[in-house]
Structure formats: C-alpha cells, structure tokens
C-alpha cells in the first residue's frame, strides 16, 4: 500500500524523521508490516495488518515529531546544563592544575581535621567532575 503525506512547510529535520515517526505511530497502534519504503513524501508499507492511513497522516506524523522534538530539546538542555556545571567545577578547581608534587605538598600541609576536610572536598569535587 502506497500513500502520501503532505510535508509542505516542514523543516528538513522533520522531513528526515518521517520514517522514524511512521514506525512509532504504527507500533503504538499495533500495526505490523513486512516492509516500509520511502520516496519523498510517498510511503509504501508492505502487508500492513490494518490500514495504516487510519494512523499515519501528515498531522499525526507532525504531532509525533513535535512531541519527540520537544522531549529531545529538553533532554539536550538538561544535559548541556549538567555538562556546564561539570566544566565550571573542573575550571574552578585548583586540583586541575596541580602537579604530583603540589598534591604531595598539599597533603603534607594538612595539620588538622579541618585542613583535611578542605583538601578532601576539593579532591572529591574534582574526581566527581572528571569521572561523573
């Protein structure tokens, strides 16, 4: 079965995601098939278990894409913010530039529990930022 969807006004990214969104829509609606092919806005689905045009429309593909894009953008924003915190910690942490000798000297300079806590906090934050 071959049918077309109208992609007028769509971004190239949305057009590129037609295949993925079509698969998702069919899966979500329990439609099975033996093959799927795309040629521009033409979609060919071999041996669908039910009429795919009930589910796969320009509006449903666009909506599925918009939902995916919103979730993807949010995840990227959250990831970028977390990475920025890590990068800021690495940049600000004195351990970043310590040589082994400086580390030895910092440890040797620990005179009491308070000094040890300060050193360990710097070290722990640096290690956490570097290896997650």
Whether this model's pTM surpasses 0.75: no
Is it the case that residue 132 has pLDDT exceeding 80? no
Domain ranges in the chain?
A: 1-73
* Mean pLDDT within 39-48: 93
Rg (CA), the chain: 27
pLDDT at 122: 87
Q: Which residues of 51-64 are buried (b: 16+ CB within 10 A; e: fewer)?
A: ebeebbeeebbbeb
Task: Give the percent of the chain with pLDDT over 90.
Answer: 73
């Amino acid at each position: 079965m071959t049918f077309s969807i109208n992609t007028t006004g769509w971004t190239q990214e949305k057009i590129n995601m037609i295949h993925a969104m079509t698969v998702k829509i069919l899966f979500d609606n329990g439609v099975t098939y033996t093959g799927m092919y795309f040629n521009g806005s033409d979609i060919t689905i071999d041996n669908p278990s039910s009429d795919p045009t009930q589910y796969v429309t320009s509006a449903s593909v666009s909506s599925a894409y918009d939902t995916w894009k919103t979730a993807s953008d949010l995840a990227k924003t959250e990831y970028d913010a977390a990475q920025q915190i890590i990068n800021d910690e690495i940049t600000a942490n004195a351990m970043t530039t310590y040589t082994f000798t400086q580390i030895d000297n910092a440890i040797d300079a620990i005179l009491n529990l308070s000094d040890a806590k300060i050193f360990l906090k710097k070290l722990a934050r640096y290690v956490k930022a570097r290896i997650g």
